[in-house]
Amino acid sequence: MSSPAQELSKSEQLYRIRHSASHIMATAILEIFPDAKLAIGPPIKDGFYYDFELPRPITPEDFEEIEKRMAAAISANQKFIQEEWPKERAREFFKDQPYKLELIEGIEGDTVSTYTNGPFTDLCAGPHVGYTKKCKNFKLLKVAGAYWRGDEKKPMLQRIYGTAWSSKEELENHLHMLEEAKRRDHRRLAKELELFGFESVAPGSVFWKPLGWASYRTLQSYFRELEEKNGYEEIFNPLLYKKELFEQSGHWDHYQENMFVLHSHDQTYCLKPMNCPDTMLYFKSKRRSYRELPLRVAEFGVLHRNELQGALSGATRVRQMCQDDAHIFVMEDQIQGEITNLLGMIDEAYGLLGLEYDLELSTRPEDHMGDPALWDLAEDALKAALNASGKVYRVNEGDGAFYGPKIDIQLRDCLGRSWQCATIQLDFQLPRRFELTYAASDNSERTPVVIHRAIAGTLERFFAILVEHFAGAFPTWLAPVQAIILAITDDQNDYAWKLANELKKHGVRVEVDDRNEKTGYKIREAETRKIPYMLVVGGKEAEAGTVAVRSYTDGQRGVMPFEDLKAEILERIETRALDVKIFKSELAIVEEDEEVDEMVERGY
């Protein structure tokens, strides 16, 4: 770790800056609270934290004072000095620091590494920046409770989070991105726009309101249509099964802690966490021939997963969910063709929504089941399909599931955040567990390969991601209310309703605001609701069969014949036009999560 700073990778530089910033924060905290007990202070993705036991709760009002003292340590340009100490010396030095003493016991060998900057010495494996000046672009963000070692039986500590970057510009971009993320938070927008909510009686399950449900169903219809167009058939199976089904599928042994298990009538039942097992039953429900393959079976089943309450987060992490799930039963030589088709569907769907994505291929792990020749064939087919798609992809050697290789699709929203939504997972095992066969052309019985696939993944989550991606201002086709007609006076109410009924007849989601309010007030309200089209009608418009149009995206558009506007709205809905401005994050740095995770583990 002695290489000069300019040779370090960007992420290694940031790692050091952030780790050092956490030490500088501890330096400041000890000045304010000399009796503070220090736990750990690692760098994390985009920043750092330090866990403290303090005599009183810290609030954001304290940040200014802490930041001021940090800035002083930084402008003093303290040097970070590393020393190896015998454990005995470290125990003596940290004798009033119980968490450090516990950490020392966990370190192998007779010595421990320490880092000192100015008056502060920490038990630390490093590495750090050379001098504190490197850390000047930082900001404290929030404070939260955290159990020592993540164990709720251990003391609750105060975790102070901050962010640090190598330039002022990067810091400002990041803070701007955080503001933007807060503004777009789907929980806040879902409430303001009356899309959906949550109730304490059903933790982790979405309560859809009429507006959100209309939009959700539109999204679901799109995915259904995409499947129909690509030769899928759709089934719908029960939610509740005897546990035997999951014993056969393997979920009972390997996934039980995520399942809701019920006892009734001397039987053990489970709510299905996935559609795979019941889709296998469908395949098996009659004798199958090679002529039916590839057999593409979709199911928008209702799934339940027993996520810990602490892990639930708005609609992005839920207990009850619906996925645009499908299973494709193929012969071995059909794999490549199906993957090509799937990559095309993903590109179409994500392109439609202005989402970018990255592809990753995960190959055979050491511990795997099935015929090596089948693995080779499948991996070659996946690679050939990926190469033919012309997209760049990453290969994670040995990272596949034990039962088959997979392609992961990470979508990137407009803030540059990654979400895992789509998957393409090959499965050599499940068809064997269910003893699925088809009659091959030579009349022999053969086992199909199963491809599990989803494009949106969990629709509740995908919808929430879209709410944030569009900041609640959906493209017209997806908007909960697509147009609103505002009558200037009561005299135009009839005309307003006539136009609304005409649009409704064509399936447009339209409202009339015929309240006795000022037009300016009505427009402002419609804008707050982010309705794509506002049609203002007064006496002149009623007379001429026109409307004064305001659009959420383009503002004032002037007066036009109603028929022309109707044609435009219908065309945008029909073609699912992306008629919104999509914010683009200026964030220069997109980091690899894994790399950072690994770095977090390395430091202490």
Q: Please report whether residue 276 would count as binding Zn ion according to CB under 5 A.
A: yes
Strand partners, 165: 137
Which two structure tokens, joined as six digits, stand for 268?
A: 């053990």
Q: Does 297 bind Zn ion (CB under 5 A)?
A: no
Catalytic residue among 158, 323, 482, 492: 323
Local structure of 527: helix, strand or coil: helix
Interface size with Zn ion, residues (CB under 5 A)? 3
CA dist 95 and 100 (Å) reads: 9
- As a residue count, the chain comes to 604
Catalytic residue among 135, 276, 322, 421: 276
CB-based contacts of 72, cutoff 8 Å, min separation 6: none
Segment interacting with Zn ion, rule: CB under 5 A, options 98-106, 298-306, 448-456, 473-481: 448-456
Least separation in angstroms between CB 291 and Zn ion: 24
Give residues with Cβ within 8 angstroms of 80, minimum separation 6. 20, 23, 115, 116, 117, 126, 128, 129, 130, 131, 132
Q: Is 368 annotated as ligand-binding?
A: no
Determine if 303 is a binding residue for Zn ion (CB under 5 A).
Answer: no
CA dihedral (547, 552, 556, 560) in degrees, to 10, reads -30
Percent of the chain that is helix, strand, coil (3-state, to 5): 40, 25, 30
263 classed as catalytic? no
Q: How far is the CB of 425 from Zn ion (least distance, A)?
A: 7
Does residue 124 touch Zn ion according to CB under 5 A?
Answer: yes
Residue 531 binds Zn ion, judged by CB under 5 A: no
Whether the Cβ atoms of residue 552 and residue 484 lie closer than 8 Å to each other: no
Rule CB under 5 A: say whether 123 interacts with Zn ion. Answer: no
Q: How far is the CB of 589 from Zn ion (least distance, A)?
A: 22
In the set 327, 368, 461, 529, the catalytic residue is 327
Known catalytic residue: 305? yes
Is residue 406 annotated as part of the catalytic site, yes or no? yes
Q: Is 322 annotated as a binding residue?
A: no
Separation CA 191–CA 193 (nearest Å)? 6
Q: Does 454 bind Zn ion (CB under 5 A)?
A: no
- Give the binding range for Zn ion (CB under 5 A) out of 276-284, 384-392, 478-486, 521-529: 276-284
Q: Choose the catalytic residue: 305, 469, 550, 572.
A: 305
100 binds Zn ion, rule: CB under 5 A: no
| Cα 557 to Cα 555: distance, rounded to the nearest angstrom | 6
Nearer to Zn ion, 224 or 602 (CB): 602
Q: Are 87 and 101 spatial neighbours (Cβ–Cβ below 8 Å)?
A: no
- Catalytic annotation, pick one of 406, 453, 461, 572: 406
Which of 37, 159, 304, 452 is the binder for Zn ion (CB under 5 A)?
452
Q: How many CB atoms are located within 10 Å of the residue 252 CB?
A: 17
Evaluate whether 335 touches 407 at the Cβ level (below 8 Å): no
Q: Does the footprint of Zn ion cover residue 328 (CB under 5 A)?
A: no
> Is 323 designated active site?
yes
Residue placing its CB nearer to Zn ion in the complex, 126 or 532: 126
Paired strand residues for 483? 510, 533
Give me 96's structure tokens. Answer: 């009033």
Decide if 327 is catalytic: yes
Provide the annotated binding site for Zn(2+). 276, 327, 452
Provide the annotated binding site. 276, 327, 452
Q: Which residues bind Zn ion (CB under 5 A)?
A: 124, 276, 452
Which positions are catalytic? Answer: 276, 305, 323, 325, 327, 406, 452
